[in-house]
Structure 1
Amino acid sequence: MDSEVFNKEYTVDFVDHWDDLINWKGRAKAESGFFQNILKKAGAKDVADVACGTGYHAVDLAKSGFNVVAADGAATMIEKTRENAARHDVEFQDIV
C-alpha cells in the first residue's frame, strides 16, 4: 500500500467526513449519558479522552461539566477536535 495515499485519505479526506459518519446527535441519543453516569458515580471530575478522534466524547463530557484533556496521535484529528470544541462553545484543560 502506498503510505502517502493512505496518509492523505486518513488524515485529510477521512477526517473531513468522520463527523458526518458518526452522527453526533444520533450518538448522543444512543449513549444517553452512559459515560457521564459512570464517571459521576466514580466521583470523577477530571477526564482524559485518549484517541479522541474529532472530539465527540471530549466535547460531550466537557458540556457535562468534566475537566477534559483530549489527546490523539493524528494532528488532523486534534485540529478537528479544536474546531468542534469551538463550535460547541466548550473548553478543555488541554488538547494534545
Structure 2
Amino acid sequence: MDSEKEKWINDVLQSMKGSRKAKPSARLFEQIESKIDSTEAKVVPLYFWRSVAAAVLLLCLNIFAFQHLNAYRKSVSNTQVETASYSADLISDFNIYR
C-alpha cells in the first residue's frame, strides 16, 4: 500500500512537468488597487463603544451585587436562627415582669 501511495504521489508530481505557470492578467493589480481605494471604512462612533462599555460594566456590577446580597441574606438568616434560640433560653430563665 505504501508503494502504491508513493507511486500515485510521483505520478501527480510528474503530471505537472511541462505545464506553464499561471500568470495573472495585466490589469489585475490595477483592479485590486481600485477596489481598495473605492471601499469606504465603516466608522463606528465613539459614543457607541462608550455605551457598550457602560452596559457591560452595569451588568457586571449587578451580578456582583446580586451574589453578595444572596450571601448576606444566608448569613443573616443563619444568625437570626441562632440568636432567636439563644434569646429564648435567656428570657425563659428570668421573670422580668413580676
State the TM-score bracket (shorter-chain normalisation): under 0.3
Q: Compare the two structures and name the one with the higher strand fraction.
A: 1
Q: Compare the two structures and name the one with the higher helix fraction.
A: 2
Q: TM-score, normalised by structure 1?
A: 0.23
Q: TM-score, normalised by structure 2?
A: 0.22
Which structure has the higher relative contact order (CA within 8 Å, separation 6+)? 1
